[in-house]
């Protein structure tokens, strides 16, 4: 497999050029790549990369995107994903990963061989919840409490943390609120959809991803809420490792 060009969009904790597969992880709203690139410790035969968007993590001072098409067009112009790779996206990251996969395919470039969608409703479904990106800081934190829990409390109490995280979170909400699904031909890759049993996403919202691939489709629920992937890291990574070995060919 080819080596990705150095890019501010990518982070990798452990380079494994001999690995048969790369996994590119797209973080959740307001998230950075840190927790995802650490997965490399438990995935010794996969090279794990994080996709770092502007306005988050090490790129916190850059202007974030608020429109999906502009974000995806810029991403695919800046990043060479190689020829044998998979995408993992959690929450908003699942939507960005899906749209990136479709854009690569439509441009005649190599799409991912496998798409792992986590805790996100299928893109053709109506927008969930009430738009919140326009709210003032206190209102926005209140709107985030149901999903972000302790982090929302910390932002309310810590002005520096609030100033660091809220711009990216606000931009991510705008990405979702402005998103309009445009029908695509289904992808041909394998797709695995997962969610938490205590999340407010319904099984129907998750299983509705099925129409977006003609390849193998798996669906799994793991114990936990919207961020079940932290509580269930070991079983999630076991699933990721098993499915990637089964469905991806070097």
Q: Give which of 33, 28, 31 is closest to 48, Cα–Cα.
A: 33
Six-digit token string for 195: 């969610």
- Reply yes or no on whether the pLDDT at 224 is more than 60: yes
Q: Give which of 174, 135, 129 is closest to 29, Cα–Cα.
A: 174
Per residue in 68-109, pLDDT tens? 999 999 999 999 998 889 999 999 999 999 999 999 999 999
Cβ contact 97:26 at 8 Å: yes
Q: pLDDT band at 164, cuts 50/70/90? A: confident
Instruction: Name residue, tokens 């982090």.
Output: 151
Rounded Cα gap, residues 148 and 199, in angstroms: 12
Select which of 29, 32, 91, 147 is catalytic.
91
Largest CA distance in the chain: 49
Our measurement of the distance from residue 77's CA atom to the centroid of its chain's CA atoms, rounded to an integer in Å, reads 18
Q: Are strands 114-118 and 85-90 parallel, antiparallel or unpaired?
A: parallel
Statement: the pTM of the whole predicted model exceeds 0.85? yes
Sheet holding 190-196, edge to edge: 10-12, 46-51, 21-26, 85-90, 114-118, 190-196, 217-222
Rounded Cα gap, residues 239 and 155, in angstroms: 33
DSSP for 223-237, written as a single string:
SSSTTHHHHTHHHHH
Backbone phi, psi, residue 224, to 5°: 130, 180
Rounded Cα gap, residues 243 and 245, in angstroms: 5
Six-digit token string for 245: 């070995």
Integer angstrom CA distances of residue 66 from 69, 72, 159, 218:
9, 11, 23, 31
Instruction: Name residue, tokens 């502007």.
Output: 54
- Reply yes or no on whether the pLDDT at 134 is more than 80: no
Q: pLDDT band at 250, cuts 50/70/90? A: very low
- Reply yes or no on whether the pLDDT at 173 is more than 70: yes
Structural domains of the chain ordered from first start: 10-126+181-247 (3.40.50.1820)
Count of Cβ atoms closer than 10 Å to residue 30 Cβ:
26
Known catalytic membership, residue 208? no
* β partners of residue 24: 49, 87
Per residue in 175-201, pLDDT tens? 888 899 998 899 999 999 999 999 989
Mean pLDDT of the chain: 88
Cβ contact 19:6 at 8 Å: no
Count of Cβ atoms closer than 10 Å to residue 215 Cβ:
15
């Amino acid at each position: 497999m080819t080596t990705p060009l150095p890019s501010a969009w990518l982070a990798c904790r452990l380079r494994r050029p001999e690995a048969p597969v790369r996994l590119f992880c797209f973080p959740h709203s307001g998230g950075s790549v840190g927790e995802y690139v650490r997965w490399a410790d438990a995935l010794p035969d996969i090279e794990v990369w994080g996709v770092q968007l502007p306005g988050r993590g090490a790129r916190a001072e850059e202007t974030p995107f608020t429109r999906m098409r502009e974000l995806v067009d810029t991403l695919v112009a800046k990043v060479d994903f190689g020829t044998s790779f998979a995408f993992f996206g959690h929450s908003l990251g699942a939507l960005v990963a899906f749209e990136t996969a479709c854009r690569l395919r439509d441009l005649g470039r190599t799409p991912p061989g496998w798409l792992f969608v986590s805790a996100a409703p299928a893109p053709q479904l109506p927008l969930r919840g009430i738009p919140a990106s326009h709210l003032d800081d206190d209102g926005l934190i209140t709107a985030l409490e149901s999903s972000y829990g302790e982090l929302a409390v910390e932002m309310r109490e810590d002005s520096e943390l609030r100033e660091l995280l809220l711009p990216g979170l606000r931009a991510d909400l705008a990405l979702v609120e402005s998103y309009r699904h445009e029908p695509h031909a289904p992808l041909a890759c394998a797709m695995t959809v997962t969610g938490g049993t205590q999340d407010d996403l319904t099984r129907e919202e998750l299983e509705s991803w099925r129409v977006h691939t003609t390849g193998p489709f798996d669906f799994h629920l793991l114990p936990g809420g919207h961020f079940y992937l932290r509580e269930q890291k070991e079983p999630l990574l076991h699933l990721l490792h098993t499915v990637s070995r089964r469905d991806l060919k070097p």
